[in-house]
Amino acid sequence: MADDLFKAAREAMAKAYAPYSKFPVGAALRTEDGRVFSGANIEVASFPEGWCAETTALAHYVMGGGGRITEIAVVAEKMDRITPCGGFETLTMAEILPLGFAGDTLK
């Protein structure tokens, strides 16, 4: 994965709004045509409302015209390693697992 994707995620993390968890996260995704979309987590007082970094990156991706996602980078200030949140993975399941786990594909 290219360093520019992690750089975009780190720059997004600097814009996170995480006053409750104190856990800023940034995410960036790249489409097959090379466009990069980033986002940061945004917390609100009425938990669990708010948005994860991956979801805000995905919103920018949709507003920017979409396309096929080829890479995703997620960074967190307080962790050496982090994976995309489960909510994001379900939002993009068709992209991540195009054949999915439907009954007819598990035979």
5 Cβ contact partners less than 8 Å away, ≥ 6 residues apart: 28, 29, 30, 36, 71, 73
* Catalytic residue (one of 32, 54, 77, 95): 54
Short-list 58, 47, 60, 46, CA closest to 90: 58
- Annotated active-site residue 77? The verdict is no
Active site residues: 54
